[in-house]
Amino acid sequence: MYRHCLLESPPWKDYELLDCGNFEKLERFGSYILIRPEPQAIWDRAMDNKEWLSIAHARYTAKTSTSGEWEKFQKMPANWVIKYKGNGFTISFGLKFTAFKHLGVFPEQAANWEYLYTYLQQLRKPDAKVLNLFSYTGGASLAAKAGKADVVHLDSVKGVVNWAKENMELSGLDNIRWVVEDAAKFAEREAKRGNTYNAIIMDPPSYGLGPKGERWKLEDNLNDMMKNVLSLLDKDNFCFIINTYSLNLSPLVLKNLFQSILPVKTDMEFGELYTKSTQGHQLPLGSFLRCKKI
């Protein structure tokens, strides 16, 4: 059973997409309003530029494909904390400016945090094992730990793993296993060991570097990686979530990949993930697939 759909990120008190257009987005993170690049927002913004600048605290401008700088318009701290209050759990994120336009959270992923937490509650398995790959600052890891799971959090960048540890502490959680490693190599070794997980989450970037500078591109490596990752799912009880930001990957690609590698009956939904602005725009933020074993 499967459904092709648009998935709207749930609203939350500490985050709001105020407007988007002309290749930028205007967002509120807690008390602070920021302007960041958004390559998919090719339409005209609803509010004019003067309105944006009158309320924005800072704006990120890219200088190269991998770095840029922040210009501050109003006084604000270098670090601040926001919370996500979900259906039965609350998690916290420490935010800060980076050279890569990111702040420490992908708010649209709240839709998948809710899905994962709900699955774990329905599973009622006290020792449920969850693997979070390409974990960044740990939103899915925190949701899984709040759901009483045994969580492995993996990212190839030590700095963001340390950031995720700080978020765990801010959220009043503990005992997440931290792994700094290349996701594909870890999955391959886990498959050889015969280890399995009740839930696996993947949020791979379009391209990236491994911990030793290995270069890879998602379209070139996803098929082989998925074969190892899907072999790690518990045959009787599993949940799988993948989100991709590559403009070249249709949601149908994710569906075809999954079903060609693991042809089992699942309750599956796939499509585009989006956030709705207060002005009414639906900002697309990647292709997703998520499913549960029937």
Q: How far is CA 197 from the centre of its chain?
A: 19
pLDDT of 126: 85
What the block records as the tokens of 99 is 């050279």
If one counts every other C-beta atom within 10 angstroms of the C-beta of residue 75, the result is 6
Task: Find out whether 263 and 217 touch, Cβ atoms under 8 Å.
Answer: no
Q: Domain coordinates of the chain in residue numbers? A: 2-7+106-293
pTM given for the model: 0.94
Residue 284 has pLDDT above 60, yes or no: yes
pLDDT of 294: 81
Residue 210 has pLDDT above 60, yes or no: no
Averaged pLDDT for residues 236-244:
96
CA distance 258 to 291: 10
pLDDT of 88: 97
Residue 141 has pLDDT above 80, yes or no: yes
Task: Find out whether 155 and 134 touch, Cβ atoms under 8 Å.
Answer: yes
pLDDT of 245: 87
Averaged pLDDT for residues 201-221:
75
For residue range 53-79, list pLDDT tens digits in order: 999 999 999 988 778 999 999 999 999
Classify domain 2-7+106-293 by CATH architecture: 3-Layer(aba) Sandwich (3.40)
Greater confidence (274 vs 214) lies with: 274
For residue range 72-122, list pLDDT tens digits in order: 999 999 999 999 999 999 999 999 999 989 999 999 999 999 999 999 999
pLDDT of 66: 79
Residue 211 has pLDDT above 80, yes or no: no
Percent of the chain whose pLDDT exceeds 70: 96
CA distance 167 to 210: 23
Q: Where are the beta strands (DSSP E) in 171-281?
A: 177-180, 199-202, 207-209, 215-217, 239-244, 266-276
pLDDT of 1: 86
